[in-house]
Structure 1
Amino acid sequence: MITGMDNTFQHAFKVQQRVIWALMLRESKTLFGKHKLGYLWAVIQAAFQISVFWVIREVAGVQAPHGMSTPVFLLGGFVPWFIFSNGITNGMNAINGNRALLTYPQVSPLDLLMARTLLQGAMQTLVLVVLLIASCAMGQEVSIETPHVILAALLLALILGLGGGMICSAFNLIWPATEQLVPMLLRILFFTSGLFFSMVDLPASVQGILSLNPLTHVIEMMRQGFVSGYGEQFISVIYAFSFSLSILTIGLLLERYARRYLDRLI
C-alpha cells in the first residue's frame, strides 16, 4: 500500500516537473523570443538601470562602504530586487495571461506561478554572473568571499517573489483593482529597500523602520556575500527566512482559495 502511494506521488511529481519545465520554455520564448537580442535583452536592461545609479553615485562622490566597488554594491541590491519584483508582477498576471492553458488537466494555477518565478530567478542569476564578469573586465574589484550567503539571499528573494506573486495573483482574481495598486507599492519598496544605498549611511531612527522590510535584510545579506562582515549588525537571517516562509504559506493558502474565481476566466 505504502509502495503504491509512493509510486503515485513520484509519478505526479515527475509530471509536475515536466509541466513546469514546459511552461518555463514557453514563457522564455514569449518574453525574449520577440527581441532580436533574445536573452541578452535581460542583461542589457539590468546593466542600464545599474549604470544610471552608478553614474549618479560617481557624480555625487558617494563611495560604496567596506571598500566594495560601486558596480558590485549595486548588483547586490538590484539583482534580488529584480527577482522579487518580477516574481510579483509576473505572478500576478500569470493566470490572466495563460487562461487557455488551464483547460489542460495537467496544468494548475500553481504551475503557472512557479514557472514564471523560477524563470525570472534563473534569468537574474545569469544576469548577476554576466555583469560580475563584465565588472572584472572593466577593472573593478570583484570578490566573492561567501558564495553560500549569496545563494541564500537569491533563494530568499525567490521565495519572497513567489509568495508575493501568489498573494497578488489571488487578490487580482478576487479584486481586479489589485493590478493598479501593486505597481505603486513596488515603487515605494524600490526606494526604501536599500537598492542604491546602505543601511550604514542612515540615521538610527530610519534604520529601525527600514529593518522591518525583509527585502532590506536580503539585499544586505547579498552584499555580505561579496564582502565578509558587511552590514552584519543590520542583518537578521531568522527574520528574513521566517517572513519569507510566512509569505509563501499565506500565498499558497490564498492561491487555493482563489481557484473558485477561475470560472470568470475559463
Structure 2
Amino acid sequence: MTPPSNHSSGNNKSGHKARSAWAVTRSVWFAMFMREAIGRTMTDRMGWFWMIAEPSLMLLVMIGIRSFIRGDKLIVNAPFIPWMLVGMMGFFLVREGLTQGSGAINANRALFAYRQVQPVDGVLIRNFLDGLLRTLIFLLFMLGALMLGTDFRPDSGFQAISGWLSLWALGLGFSLVVSVAGTLVPEVTKVVRMLSMPLLILSGVIMPLNHLPHYLLEYLMLNPIVHGLEYTRHGFFEGYKVVHGTSMLYFWSWTLGMLALGLLMHVRFKERLKAQ
C-alpha cells in the first residue's frame, strides 16, 4: 500500500488549502478599498462637503452668467441647467482620473512591502472609489431636481448609463497613464492639474460647442471627452442635437488605447514605481 504523500495537491505544508491568486487579489483589493474609503469619507470631515459644494457653486455661477447671455437659448431641445449638470458631473468623473492617479501610488507606498500589493492596485481602487462617490453625488443632484419639480430622468436609461460608464473607463485609462508618468516625473502631475480648467471649457461642459466656427470645432473634436459627454447628454435628452462629428468609435479608440498603454506602463515600470 502506497503511503500518503506529504504534499497533497492544493494543500500547503500546514495542511491548509492554498488560496488561488484571484482570491488573494480580491482580498487585497477589498482591504485597500476599505482603507481608501475610510480615509476619503471619514478622516477628512470636509470631504463630503467639497464633493457636493464644488459642482453646486459652479452651477450657481453659471446660472448667474446665463441670466446675462441667455445660455438656455443656445441649446436645442435640452434645458440648460440639467444639460450643464450632466456635463459637469461627467467631466469631473474623467478629471478625477487625471488628477488623482499619481497620488494613488504615493498614498499606498507603505503597502508595497507586501509582495501581493502592486502599484496598479492602488490606482484601480482609487478610481473605482472615485467613480462610486461621483455616481452617488450625481444621483443626489438628480433626486434634488426631482424634488424641486424638474424632470431629470434620462430619456434613454441604457444610453445614459453606458455613457456614464464610458466616461468612467476613460478616466481610468488616464489615471493608469498619469499615475506612472507623474510618479516617475513629478512635473507631469503639475502640468495635468494646470490643464484641468482649460479642459473644462474646451470639452463643452459649460457652453455648447455647436455655435463655434467649423475650423475651430474640428480641433476641439480631437478631445475624446467631448464625444463621451455629448453621447451621455443625448441619453438624458432624446431631442438634443449633439455636436457634429460626435463618434463613440473615436471615443473608445482613445479609451482602449489609454487603458492598454497604462497597463503596459505599469508592467514595464513596476519595480521603479515601488522604489521611487
Q: TM-score, normalised by structure 2?
A: 0.85
Shift of 1:229: 4.1
Q: Which moved more, 1:36-45 or 1:85-94?
A: 36-45
| Superposition CA RMSD, Å | 2.2
Corresponding residue number in structure 2 for 1:27: 36
Tell me, yes or no, if structure 1 residue 52 matches structure 2 residue 61.
yes
* Aligned residues of 2:184 and 2:273 also touching (Cα < 8 A): no
Aligned partners of 1:111, 1:138: CA distance in 2, in Å?
41
Aligned partners of 1:138, 1:59: CA distance in 2, in Å?
24
Aligned partners of 2:97, 2:117: CA distance in 1, in Å?
19
Q: TM-score, normalised by structure 1?
A: 0.88
Aligned partners of 1:107, 1:96: CA distance in 2, in Å?
13
The code of the aligned residue for 2:264 comes to L
Shift of 1:264: 3.2
Q: Which moved more, 1:172-181 or 1:129-138?
A: 172-181
Corresponding residue number in structure 2 for 1:256: 267
Larger radius of gyration: 2
Corresponding residue number in structure 2 for 1:94: 104
Aligned partners of 2:26, 2:81: CA distance in 1, in Å?
36
Corresponding residue number in structure 1 for 2:165: 155
Q: Which moved more, 1:215-224 or 1:141-150?
A: 141-150
Between the aligned residues of both structures, percent identity stands at 28
The code of the aligned residue for 1:253 comes to L
Matches within 5 A, 1:212-227: 212-227=222-237
Query: Which one of the candidate residues 209, 227, 248 is aligned to 1:237?
Result: 248
Aligned partners of 1:104, 1:54: CA distance in 2, in Å?
50
Aligned partners of 1:51, 1:258: CA distance in 2, in Å?
44
Corresponding residue number in structure 1 for 2:238: 228
Aligned partners of 2:84, 2:29: CA distance in 1, in Å?
31
Q: 1:102 to 1:48 in 2, by over 3 A?
A: same
* Aligned residues of 1:220 and 1:230 also touching (Cα < 8 A): no
The code of the aligned residue for 1:26 comes to R
Shift of 1:139: 2.7
Aligned partners of 2:110, 2:199: CA distance in 1, in Å?
33
Corresponding residue number in structure 1 for 2:14: none
Q: 1:56 to 1:256 in 2, by over 3 A?
A: same
Tell me, yes or no, if structure 1 residue 65 matches structure 2 residue 75.
yes
The code of the aligned residue for 1:135 comes to A
Could you list the runs of 4 or more consecutive aligned residues of structure 1 that deviate by over 6 angstroms after TM superposition?
none
The code of the aligned residue for 1:56 comes to I
Aligned partners of 2:145, 2:272: CA distance in 1, in Å?
47
Paired residue secondary structure (2:76): helix
Q: Which runs of 5+ in 2 are unaligned?
A: 1-9, 11-18
Shift of 1:153: 1.6
Paired residue secondary structure (1:155): helix
Q: Which moved more, 1:61-70 or 1:178-187?
A: 61-70
Q: 1:17 to 1:229 in 2, by over 3 A?
A: farther
* Aligned residues of 1:47 and 1:131 also touching (Cα < 8 A): no
The aligned length equals: 258
More helix by share: 1
